[in-house]
Amino acid sequence: MVESRNNFGIISESHALRQVLLTVRQVAPTDISVLIVGESGTGKELVANAIHAASTRSKQPLVVVNCGAIPEGILESELFGHEKGAFTGAIGARKGYFEMADHGTIFLDEIGEMPLATQVKLLRILENKDFMRVGGTRLQSVDVRVIAATNKDLTKAVEGGEFREDLFYRLNAIHIRVPPLRERREDILPLVRNISRQFSRKHHIEFQGFSETALNVLGNYPWPGNVRELKNIVESMIVLEKGALIDEIAISKYLKTPAFKEERNLPVPTYRSSEQVEREFIYHALVDLKNEIRKLREDLYDASVFDPPAPKSLPFLSEVRPNAPIVAPTRVRNEKTELGGKTLQEIERLVINRTLEEFDGSKRKAAKSLGISERTLYRKIKEYDLQF
Q: Is residue 353 part of a domain?
A: yes
Are 33 and 170 members of one domain?
yes
pTM strictly above 0.75: no
Of 127, 146, 179, the one marking the end of a domain is 179
Are 76 and 205 members of one domain?
no
Residue 234 confidence (pLDDT):
96
Beta strand segments in 67-104, E: none
Of 122, 145, 179, the one marking the end of a domain is 179
- 181-195 pLDDT tens trace: 999 999 999 999 999
Question: By residue range, what is the domain housing residue 231?
Answer: 183-256
Cβ atoms of 139 and 130 within 8 Å: the answer is: yes
Collapsing DSSP to helix, strand or coil, 68 comes out as: coil
Are 28 and 55 members of one domain?
yes
- Residue numbers in the chain where pLDDT is lower than 50: 1-5, 258-274, 276-277, 287, 304-339
Are 20 and 159 members of one domain?
yes
Are 130 and 143 members of one domain?
yes
Q: Is residue 103 part of a domain?
A: yes
Cβ atoms of 286 and 349 within 8 Å: the answer is: no
Distance CA 282, CA 371 (A): 8
Long-range contacts of 233-237 (CB under 8 A, 24+ apart): 234/192, 234/195, 234/196, 234/199, 235/195, 235/199
Are 207 and 69 members of one domain?
no
Residue 368 confidence (pLDDT):
83
Are 280 and 368 members of one domain?
yes
- 270-283 pLDDT tens trace: 444 445 445 555 55
Q: Is residue 388 part of a domain?
A: no
Question: Which residues partner with 109 through β-bridges?
Answer: 66
Of 158, 179, 200, the one marking the end of a domain is 179
Residue 270 confidence (pLDDT):
42
Q: Is residue 291 part of a domain?
A: yes
Are 128 and 245 members of one domain?
no
Residue 269 confidence (pLDDT):
43
Are 170 and 234 members of one domain?
no
Are 19 and 132 members of one domain?
yes
Total domains in the chain come to 3
The continuous run of DSSP H or E covering 323 comes out as none
Q: Is residue 74 part of a domain?
A: yes
Q: Is residue 269 part of a domain?
A: no
Q: Is residue 159 part of a domain?
A: yes
Residue 302 confidence (pLDDT):
52
Are 44 and 137 members of one domain?
yes
- From the list 151, 176, 140, 130, the residue with the least C-alpha distance to 36 is 176
Question: Of how many residues is the chain composed?
Answer: 388
Residue 114 confidence (pLDDT):
95
Q: Is residue 268 part of a domain?
A: no
Beta strand segments in 111-216, E: 130-132, 139-141, 145-150, 174-177
| Angle of the 274-288 helix axis to the 374-383 helix axis, nearest 10 | 100
Are 282 and 250 members of one domain?
no
Domain harbouring 195, CATH code: 1.10.8.60
Domain harbouring 36, CATH code: 3.40.50.300
- From the list 106, 113, 95, the residue with the least C-alpha distance to 40 is 113
